[in-house]
Each structure stands twice: as C-alpha cells, then as structure tokens.
Structure 1
C-alpha cells in the first residue's frame, strides 16, 4: 500500500506536521526532482520525501551543501522538471550565488525554494528574515500560517512558478514547520516525465550582453506576478472598523487568536497576506484608504511595514502606521504580546496578568548524548592541549563541546569555518589552533578550507569528528556514510583519502573511545607544524541502533569501592551518570556502553546488558 502522502485520494483528511503538509503539496503539484541540505526547522520535508522515495515518482537527493542543492534543482528545472529545493534560512546564504542568477534565467519546469526561517533561534545561529532575499533577487513569496495552507501553498507555488518560469520562495517559520493540523488532500496526478530542455543561450547563459535583457524579462515577470497577487485567494481583506491590522505568514494566526481572546474582531479591518510578494498594491491601497490607523504584525524585519509606508507616502495618505515601534524585531511573537498591542490601539487595558507562580525548573544545559564519541575526542583534546590551544568550532553536534567540562569551542562563524577561520586565527595569534569539524560538514564546506590551508601553508590541526551520519539534523546520509535508513550507500567517500588527495601528508585515524591511542595521536600531531588531520571515527550510538540495528552489549556501573571523587561526572559530564548517596551512579537505560568512564576512573566497571 502506498504511503498516504503519495496516494491520489482527493477529499481525504489527515493530521499532518506542517513539513509533512508541504510534502503532500509538492506531490499534488506533480513534483519530479527534490534536492536539499538538511537543517532544522526544514528537515522533516526532505526526510519524509527521502523515506517514501522508493514508492514515489520523483528523484530525491541529499546534496553536499545548499549551493549544490540549488544548482542541481536549477539544472533540473531548465531541463523541464518541476523541482523543489529545501533548506533552513541560513542555508540560503550558501545558495545565494546561484539563486540570484536563477531569478534572471528563470525556471521553465517550475522551481520552489523552501526557506525555513527560525525566529527565536530555536536551532540556529541567527534570526535572519529571508523575505529580503526575495526582494533582492526578484522572487514571489508565499507565507503559510497553517498546515492546510502549507500544503496548498506548496502545490500552488510550484504551479505558479512553472506558469511564469519564476523561482518562488516558500517562506515558513519554525512554528509553521512544526505545528500539526488537519489537512484535506487534493488530487495527486501522475507527474509524468520532464518536458525536456530547449536550447536558447540568450535566455540561459547570463553573459553581460544577455543579462541585461534577462533583467528586463525578470521585471516583466514580477509585474505579471503582481497581478496574480492582486487576485490571489491567499490575500484577503475582512472585517470593518477604522483600526486596521496588516499581517503576513504565521503572524496571521497570532492576530486571529488575539482578536478571538479579546473579543475585538468586530472592531478591526484585517489585511492578510499569504502571497506577500510582489505586494498586491491595489488591494493594500484600498485597505489603507478604509482605515485611520494600521498595525503591521510580522515577525522579524519590517518588510511589509516598509512596503505599506512607501505605498501610503506615494499616494499621500494621512494615516498612522505602527509596526516595529510597538512590536519587536527579534524573537517569536506570542498571542498575549499581539493582543496587548491591539488592545492599546483600541484604547483597552492590557491582558490581566496571572498571579499564579510556578516553581523554578532545573536547568538543562545543552549536552552531548550518552555514549557520543565526540565526548571521547574532546576529553582527549583537553588532556593533551588544555587551555594552551584555541579551539575552532563548527556547526553540528560538536558545538555541544562548548560548555564545561569539555570547553572545546572558543569561536564559530558558520558551516566549514572551523578550518578557514581557524587558519586565520593561527596566523593572527601564532598559537596552536585545533579545529573541529563533523563528517557531514566536512563534505558540505570543509574540503575548500583544507585546500586553502594546504595552498597557503597554514598551521592548524584539523580534527574530523566522523560519526558516520549527519546527526544533529536527524541522521540524514552524507557522502561518507556506508549505510542509510533505506539501504546501503554504494559510493561512500573516504575522508582520509580525500584529505590526502588535497595534499595533507600527516593524517591519523583513531577510535575516540580508545583514549590511549587517541591521545598518543594527538601528542604526535601536536609536535608538528603545518596542516595535519586527525579523523576520530566512531558511529553515533543513536544511529547505530537505528540503522545498524546494534545495541552495545555492555553497560557501565560504579563499584562499591567508589570514593566519591566524581571525576567521572566532573570530567565527562555524561548524562547517563548521576550522584546518589555520596557516590557516582550510572543509569543503565541511558548508558550506551562506550566505556569511556572506565578509562577515567578505576571504580567504574562493565557488565553485560540485561
């Protein structure tokens, strides 16, 4: 039986995650090619498409990085395929180079870029608002606010993109990606084969002589898309009253809940934009003329607010527009926050505050999982280098080496920067720099950093933390894995071979759970100069259980002879260990049998699981 997300079952209703709804929408549009680089909050979209791909009628790939993913999707749409490329918001920074040019060249088969933004930095290093990319490049933007809209907009966005040969941005946020809601399905036609490539260099090769008319065509496309926006069912004006609220994306849900809570829905006129760019100027102008005051509710940057201010100034409207002067430019909104601003605008008092008090909950700092091999690498590094080295970190599970007692993350810029920025740090300070990078991140953007370090004779020790998967975003495959959730990887790339091919001569591979050999290798490399690489290779224990179907045969326990020194806890910070009755103890349910603690304290023992 086919997966429900793939079935041609119009009228059926399913309870879906927002990201699963996007998958269904792509299927209903007739998706033919999907590329991605995983990143929360977008990961469940490609993960779902990957999991059901053996039954689907589309091609799917986890690309090595976002730039490559968009280039593959861009080539596919030029070949007549309907394509979708997914990533988190910071991934668009990596993909920005081909994105800007794709807006000129166009998308004959249809191309939708999912940018999952992350207000509140739930899983990200910044809160950037990628609606600005759409304005920069010239892309239509859809912003869903519910699971049903996530499905419908994914479908309609792909079809609109194909109709106008215009790459389209589907801008979601963490709240939309991870909400759940009822979704009614539409038809899911057979996508058939891609339409094929039409040779036309003047439209497809952006040399200066061709780029100038391409830009003109881009502006003409945007003008046509503005007409689509004016008539889109995703853009509506409702209600009555001289107090107006303009909102887009998930902010529409905050506004709806706030008005419902306050009982003020009959006193306001609401402009809701789901198809938010190009701006439906006529609809917005009619709205602005119908009210005296406008509150613009949008998360992060004042994009819609500025659009409306320009429109009001252009037409000399005497109207008060409020937005980021009363609502923040950072973090997620809350219903109460939005309700209080609306209440103030209508001369009402704030929401009554709750007098109840909640007990302080214990802190839960970010920590590596029990049995994570990175803990062994970091422990060895601290033993060998201590505070004498500067530790350059990277994006992934290994950033969790930040806090005591491991303390192996002194600075971080972006994916792959541990090598490049680490090289710069070593050059500037003359100190020993140890750069940590994961296996997936190594293939994403570490290769170029290694090549640069070798070419420019930098002095850096690079430690590749190879846990055989892309762990932090959900165990997606990368080019170095040998096994995936749906089968073997027929062409695994070997990291040691890759770095040697880039000119690194001093390379060592160790198992980080063998502390004696790991520290010996580090000591050896510490005494050298130039570019040298240590590969710490051991699978993620969660991935081992999930994919290799293996469970560690042993667990650790603390002998009665424990002296209560707590070296095992204080030096490793393993979440499977805790204090009990003045002694250390091990939770056998959490213990993964790595036995690193045995190598730290002689009072830890091992026993067979069960």
Structure 2
C-alpha cells in the first residue's frame, strides 16, 4: 500500500493528498456526503479505515456529516467533514452555530468549489462562508500543499479553538502530482476506532441566546489568534521585488507563475494560504513596495474588496485591479491571467492561436445503455406529457435532454419533492416528481412529510438504483452498505414512504414497461403517491454479471420487420440503438447493449428480439421467465 508508506513520494490527486494529510494529522473521523469534486477524500480513506482505526462515514447529508464530525471534535478527537460547495448550504445551519461554540479536537471542513460548473448547478464561492461565519479559510494551490495545509488546518483549529474551512477547487482536487509524504500519526496506526470523552459544558455547547451572546465576541477573538498563527507559520508568502504587485491564492498562483515566466515580468507576488482573516499589516507592507496591484482570484472579488478597504482606511493610494481585468465567472486559466498581467503592466495583449484546434462535434451527456431511469422518463413522457415534472440532482437529471424531455425543473437536492408539493397547490396540472434513492434520504424525506401533511396531490417516483451513482457508486441507506464495505441497515424506501403517510405506495421493476405504466396510472387516483422504481445501476449490474461469468441478454433487430420508423431511437435515446441512414434500418450495438429490453417493448412492429444461446429469436420479451430473471438480478446483487 504505497499510500500508507511512512516516507517517500507518491503520485496523488489533490483529494488523495488531503486524505493523506488527514492521516498524518491523527484524524479520528471523516464524515461526508459524496459530491464532485470532493468525493475522492472519503473514498480514499474508506479503503484503509479498518486497518487504521479511522471512522469513515457516508452520512445521509452534509448537515449530518458536519454534526457527526463535530461530535468527535467535542469528544477531544480530530475530525473532518467533506462536501462539495453546495453541500455547505445544506450544512450551513450547523456550521454557523459551531463557529460560535468552537471546537476541542481539531475540526476541518473541506468545501470543494467548482468554478466552471463542471458537475454542479452553480459556482458559488465558499470563501464568503468563512467570512460570514467568522472562521479561518485555508486555500491550497496544488496536491503537495493540499496535504501540508490539511495538517496545518488541524493545528490552526486547535490553536484557535475554531472550525477551519479548507477550500479547494476542481483543478486542485483533481490534479495529480508527486507528493512528499510525512509520517502517519501514531494513533491512526491502531486497528480500532478511537474513543474520546465528552464533558458537558452548558455555556459552550448549548446555544441558548444568553450563551450565544457571550460566545459571539469569542469568534472575533479567535480570528485575531488565527492571524498570530498565520504569521508564525508563514501562511502568507512574498516573493520577488518588482513594481507590479500580484496578490493571489490557490491554483491561481500557478497561473500567475506560468504567465510571469513566459512574459519575463519582474513581479512582486504575495501568495495567501489563509485568505480569511486577511492580515492588514501584510497587505499594507506589500502595497508600500509596489506601484500597482493585481488581485488574481477565481469567482467573487473576495480578496479584492477587502484589500481595497484596507488601503482606503490606511489612506494608501495605489491602483488595485481585479475584476476589471479578470472575469467574475468561470475558471481562470493561463490565458486569462496572462492577458490581465499584460494590461496591468502596460504590455501589448497577446491572444492564444486556436485556429489550428479542430472543432470537435458536440458530445452531450447521455444516460448509460440499460439505465432504468430512461424507462421511467419514457413512461412519464408517454402517459403524462402535459404534467409538471420536477426532478432533482443526479444522473437522472439527464432526463431533461432530448429525446426524453421528461424533466421540467431542477434546483437542489430534495427540491423535486418540495417543488412538487408547491406545484400541486399552485396550478391544476398533474405533478410527477422524480428523485434518486440517495437524494430521497438526503433531503427528500422532510419534503415528502410536507406533501402528506398538506395533502398535495402529487406522484413521486423514487429512482432506486441502489447506489449513489453520479458521484462514483458510494453506498447510501437504500444500499444497506456502509463506507468501509460492511453491512449496515438497509432502509426500504417503500416502507419509509408508508411510514410517512403516503396514500399509495408501490414498488415496480422499471424494466417492465407495462407494469410501470400501470403504476403511474393507478397513482393518479391517490393524493400523495410514491412509486419506487427498483432496478440496480446498469454499470453495477453488468460488472456483477461479468464477475459471475454470466451475461445480460443480447438483443438484435430483425431487418425484415424493421420499417425504419425510428420510434425506438427517438423515444428512448439509448446509445446502443444505431440508425443506418443508407439501409434505413436500426441495429443494436452488441458492445453497448445492456439487455434491458426497453427497445423491444417500445417497438410497434415487434422487430426486436432476444437471442438465446441456441441462436433462436425470442420476440416475446415480456414472458414470465424474463421477468423472473430481472427480479432475481435485483434481489441477489446486494
């Protein structure tokens, strides 16, 4: 296990480096809700949790993850909670309060921001959360710093007595580079999960208004202590003596250094590892040695605004550039930073020559072959084209795209149910919401309670593929497996929905289109109806069948029966279905086909058949033995 070596160098992702830094820091607990670009931190640690005695948990949502980590901290153990940037919105209620209450064991909260929205619904800048809550914010620039600053963040947290927000971005989290390893913490070498001791402290841990009022000044005192720590540990580093000054942080620093080298500029660079609180003395000292300042930061003018305020208060008159020469949206990158430096330095602007770059055809994302979500969206579109169709965050959000177009809204985790509840009251069209199994447990439950309580006429279809698929197949309560691979408690969605008071609850196999359509029709007779569409993620199913030496059914098109109507292609959009424009026939790519039989059920001319081992053509794809096989796959895969 090279990752667990005591010394040497290892090629690590930024997220893997953070995991290593946590182990070197004697972390006792890492709790998380998986979300790109943060996912690899708990995923890496879960592989070694049993060996090292570290408790790793996939929590039901980010708020719970932070509360679990806080419990370890208040029991005098070091802990980390990890999440993507929008996850901190879910955890913010707890986050804002523990900033007042403080910590005992070091508590690091990793927020992985996603400039450019590579896999997110927004690109919010979570540095602002640190200022909002009054906690220090640490920003690494590469995998080596990701590891080293994780250790420093734990030390800072305990020195100050506050949670520390460690903010990475997609480029840092998913960059791979050599990382020099340090010694593992002595305690993480033990095979058993460590236990701490919680000692009640009413004024600290019970946030009654009277106690909170006393704790608020402590937040400001802790920020002063954080500045002391930053000075001792040299978290703000200056390099160069040019008259053009650059203040930057994180991966943006690397863009600055690359552009500086190519332009041959003599710069003064102030690199901030702790971007909040901002050291006024360091900023003023730097400003007095340069003629102009360029603030290079992704997204919001977080540093720029504070720097301008510091200089104004000190009556220091110096041009400060930032978002006037750099964009406030999307990632930065070499050329954006280079052009900004050229403008500030009074140089001629050069632009990248992209004339020789080939224009690749667009490749929109698509649901995998055999994905059962496709069948659900096909049925919704077929039966309820005029219904209002709120959905949620997951692979299934692709149901909004051609040719399915069975999703009307997507806001945030769990919003499909809450929005559906409101839509049922706001207008008269039928409401059919869709949500994944992991998201159902994440934030769907309170919204379903709300719909039941207020008698909102709606149908909720839970797309239960028994895994958190979009972020890399992490377990969840529907799976019944915990982070280290052991069995947990399987929470049956149908039982949960009945317990919450839904009028109509039914589980169906979405591979059986007739049964699925019948359930959707029946659900319209109820007030709050919940349909659980049960079929494992196609990728897991294919992998498991391969492990067993089995294979999914193979389907093919009978050319004599195929009329070239393309209904299967246009209604399902399965990548395995290919239309030959010359032959005017559809054929099935055997390498892609997952054997779900949806196309055979949709074909109006019964032109698609299953090939058995003897080479016979079985056009009756809905015969009972096929249904029985599907059910056996579902019940035995987990």
User: When the two structures are superposed, what TM-score results if normalisation uses the length of structure 2?
Assistant: 0.92
* 1:240 CA drift (Å): 1.3
Secondary structure at the residue paired with 1:591?
Answer: coil
Does residue 410 (structure 1) correspond to residue 408 (structure 2)? The answer is: yes
Residue matched to 2:463:
465
Distance 2:358 2:159 in 1: 56
Deviation at 1:248?
1.1
Q: CA deviation at 1:272?
A: 0.6
Partner residue, 1:309: 308
1:216 Cα deviation from its structure 2 partner:
1.6
Deviations along 1:296-337, one digit per CA (max 9) or x if unpaired, are 000001111011101101110010001011111110012011
> What does residue 168 of structure 2 align with?
172
1:322-471 equivalences in 2 (<5 Å): 322-354=321-353, 356-386=355-385, 388-471=386-469
In the TM superposition, what whole-angstrom CA distance separates every residue of 1:333-353 from its partner, at most 9, and x where no partner exists? 120111011012212112254
Q: Number of aligned pairs?
A: 602
Task: Quote the residue 1:246 is aligned against.
Answer: 247
* TM superposition shift of 1:521: 1.1
| CA displacement at 1:357 relative to structure 2 | 3.2
Counterpart of 1:85 in structure 2 is 81
SS at match of 2:49: coil
Contact 2:139 2:274 in 1 (8 A): yes
Cα pair distance change 1:253/1:492, threshold 3 Å:
same
Q: 1:542 aligns with which of 536, 539, 543?
A: 539
Q: Does 1:24 align with 2:20?
A: yes
2:57–2:483 CA contact under 8 A, matched in 1: no
Question: Structure 1: which 5+ runs fail to align?
Answer: none
| Alignment partners' CA distance in 2, 1:608 and 1:235 | 68
Q: Which residue of 2 aligns with 1:228?
A: 229
Higher deviation after alignment, 126-135 or 473-482: 473-482
The residue aligned with 1:574 is 574
Q: How far is the alpha carbon of 1:197 from its aligned partner?
A: 2.0
Take 1:354 and 1:505, find their aligned partners in 2: how far apart are those partners?
62
The answer to whether the 8 Å contact 2:57/2:482 transfers is: no
Given candidates 568, 578, 594, the residue that maps to 1:592 is: 594
Residue 206 of structure 1 corresponds to which residue in structure 2? 207
Conservation of the 8 A alpha-carbon contact between 2:245 and 2:293: yes
Q: Which moved more, 1:551-560 or 1:240-249?
A: 551-560
1:75 shift after superposition = 1.3
- Alignment-derived partner of residue 97 in structure 1: 93
CA deviation after TM superposition for structure 1 residue 194, in Å:
5.0
- d(CA) in 1 for partners of 2:18, 2:480: 29
Note the 1:184-195 alignment, pairs <5 A: 184-191=180-187, 193-195=194-196
> Which residue of structure 2 aligns with residue 532 of structure 1?
529
Q: Go from structure 1 to structure 2 and tell me whether the alpha carbon gap of 1:353 and 1:419 turns closer, same or farther (over 3 Å shift).
A: closer
Distance 2:359 2:185 in 1: 53
- C-alpha deviation, 1:171, in angstroms: 0.1
In structure 2, runs of 5+ residues without a counterpart are: 189-193, 616-638
Inter-partner Cα distance in structure 2 for 1:316 and 1:137: 28
Alpha carbons of structure 1 residues 194 and 81: separation in structure 2 relative to 1, 3 Å: farther
Using the alignment, how far apart are the partners of 2:111 and 2:591 within structure 1? Answer: 38
Alignment counterpart, residue 183 of structure 1, candidates 162, 179, 183:
179
31, 48, 53: which one aligns with 1:52: 48
Q: 1:25 to 1:488 in 2, by over 3 A?
A: closer
Moved more, 575-584 or 160-169: 575-584
Matched, 1:76 2:78: no
Which residue number corresponds to residue 501 of structure 2?
503
Cα distance in 2 for residues equivalent to 1:254 and 1:280: 23
Q: What's the CA shift string for 1:473-521, capped at 9, x where partnerless?
A: 1111110114578645331000011010011131111000101111111
1:16 alignment partner, SS class:
strand
Report the secondary structure of 1:269's partner residue.
strand
C-alpha RMSD over aligned residues: 1.6
After superposition, the Cα gap between the structure-2 partners of 1:352 and 1:381, relative to the gap in structure 1 and judged at 3 Å, is closer
Matched residues in 1 for 2:563 and 2:375: separation? 23
Q: Are the counterparts in 2 of residues 229 and 276 from structure 1 also a CA contact under 8 Å? A: no
Distance in 2, matches of 1:24 and 1:444, equals 28
Counterpart residue number, 2:631: none
Paired residues of 2:58 and 2:483 also in contact (CA < 8 A) = no
Residues 353-404 of structure 1: CA deviation (Å, up to 9, x unaligned): 4263333322111211111000111111111112x20100101111010012
Distance 1:501 1:307, change over 3 A: same
Mapped contact 1:229–1:277 kept (Cα < 8 A): no
Secondary structure of the residue that 1:481 maps to in structure 2? coil
Stretch of structure 1 that moved more, 52-61 or 286-295: 52-61
1:145 to 128, 141, 144: 141
1:607 aligns with 611
Equivalence for 1:112: 108
